[in-house]
């Protein structure tokens, strides 16, 4: 990646952490209803409340000017937003001009028709959320998805030259018996795999306590069969990686519950309505949409200064029988995980 010149006023929070990574949720809508992410019946944002692409570009530009070098587009499912490729192309044009990387997290359902365009716009790697290789279990977890569409999309993305990492939410009694097969399959296809602990975000209608699987427990289980070598690899996010000797691939662990990563947090999250959340597990936020609409670039810049002052030290996720309620009311789809 190309190096970026040092910004005159970098975004540094009250704990000395430099914010270099912006996750942008371009929509709260999704064509799936994954059991750990959404409830069966969701009420989505009115389209009039959603940021225009011009506003997203203005906010992204303000972040880039102040040292943000990585942007990830999320949802909901980002590729269901109408004309999404226009935004991807616009942001992609900033790569090499302050922005080092533009990436995407997707459920894969729309990749078949967008993979070539993503690569052409400058995207080089994507994350695909996939929690099972079993077609019927996939339908149960997503409540409506077709695994055939995702597999076709993954094939199209690989043909387009996109590097793919599979994200798998590990759930006890749901897909924990599939983790080894998923790793063997992903690594055999030249893809990385990252395992994610479920997080208590929003009321989703499932028993999160019973389904919770600490990844330390899972790591120890896998280490009895596989040979792990810790890697220094970082991709801007919270995952910790190991190399798996037997498969030749990379395995990541994201552990917000059993071992948080707050001390090195370098990211913030912009919702589709312009709310900047400073922590996935807290409600601290700044309304960048109102700042931009009422005061233009100067007000937006001042809002970023304020955001750095109120960014919390970390989240307070607790999940057990005495703390079974969601840590925050909003669903994961609002801030894109």
Is residue 329, in this structure, part of any structural domain at all? yes
Q: What is the CATH number of the domain that holds 253?
A: 3.20.20.70
The response to whether 76 counts as a known ligand-binding position is yes
SS3 content of the chain, % helix, strand, coil (to 5): 35, 20, 45
Amino acid 264: pLDDT: 78
Q: Assess contact for 228 and 248: CB atoms under 8 A.
A: no
C-beta of residue 320 within 8 angstroms of C-beta of residue 327: no
Residue 81 confidence (pLDDT) above 70? yes
Q: Is 81 annotated as a binding residue?
A: no
Buried b (16+ CB within 10 A) or exposed e, 176-185: eebbeebbbb
Binding residue per annotation — 221?
Answer: no
Range of the domain at 173: 21-335
| pTM of the predicted structure, to 2 decimals | 0.87
Q: Is 199 annotated as a binding residue?
A: yes
Find out whether 92 is annotated in a ligand binding site. no
Q: Please give the DSSP secondary-structure letter assigned to residue 7.
A: P
Query: According to the model, what pLDDT value does residue 260 have?
Result: 56
What pLDDT, in 10s, does the model give residues 203-228? 545 555 667 888 888 999 999 999 99
Which residue is it, tokens 């019946």? 41
Please check the confidence at residue 4 and state whether its pLDDT lies above 60: no
* Mean pLDDT, residues 122-132: 97
Classify residue 306: in a domain, yes or no: yes
Any domain includes 300:
yes
Q: How many structural domains is the chain composed of?
A: 1
Is 274 marked as binding a ligand?
no
Question: Is residue 15 domain-resident?
Answer: no
Q: What's the confidence (pLDDT) of residue 198?
A: 77
Residue 73 lies inside a defined structural domain of this protein: yes
The whole-number pLDDT of residue 110 equals 97
């Amino acid at each position: 990646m190309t190096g970026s010149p040092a910004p005159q006023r970098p975004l540094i929070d009250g704990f000395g952490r430099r914010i270099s990574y912006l996750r942008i949720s371009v929509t709260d809508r999704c064509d799936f209803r994954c059991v750990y992410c959404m409830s069966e019946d969701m009420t989505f944002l009115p389209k009039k409340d959603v940021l225009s692409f011009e506003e997203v570009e203005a906010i992204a530009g303000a972040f880039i000017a102040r040292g943000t070098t990585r942007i990830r587009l999320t949802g909901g499912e980002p590729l269901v937003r109408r004309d999404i490729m226009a935004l991807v192309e616009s942001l992609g044009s900033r790569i090499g001009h302050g922005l080092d990387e533009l990436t995407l997290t997707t459920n894969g359902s729309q990749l078949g028709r967008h993979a070539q365009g993503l690569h052409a716009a400058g995207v080089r790697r994507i994350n695909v959320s996939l929690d099972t290789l079993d077609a019927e279990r996939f339908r149960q977890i997503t409540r409506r998805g077709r695994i055939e569409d995702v597999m076709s999309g993954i094939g199209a993305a690989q043909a387009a030259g996109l590097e793919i990492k599979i994200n798998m939410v590990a759930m006890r009694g749901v897909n924990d018996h599939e983790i080894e097969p998923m790793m063997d399959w992903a690594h055999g296809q030249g893809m990385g795999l990252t395992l994610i602990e479920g997080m208590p975000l929003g009321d989703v209608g499932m028993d999160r306590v019973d389904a919770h699987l600490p990844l330390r427990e899972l790591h120890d289980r896998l280490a009895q069969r596989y040979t792990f070598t810790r890697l220094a690899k970082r991709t801007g996010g919270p995952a910790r990686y190991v190399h798996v000797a037997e498969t030749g691939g990379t395995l990541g662990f994201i552990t917000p519950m059993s071992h948080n990563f707050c001390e090195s947090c370098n990211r913030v999250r912009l919702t589709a309505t312009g709310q900047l959340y400073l922590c996935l597990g807290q409600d601290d936020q700044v309304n960048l949409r109102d700042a931009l609409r009422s005061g233009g670039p100067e007000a937006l810049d001042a809002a970023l200064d304020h955001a750095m002052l109120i960014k919390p030290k970390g989240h307070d996720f607790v999940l057990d029988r005495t703390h079974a309620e969601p840590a925050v009311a909003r669903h994961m789809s609002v801030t894109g995980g």
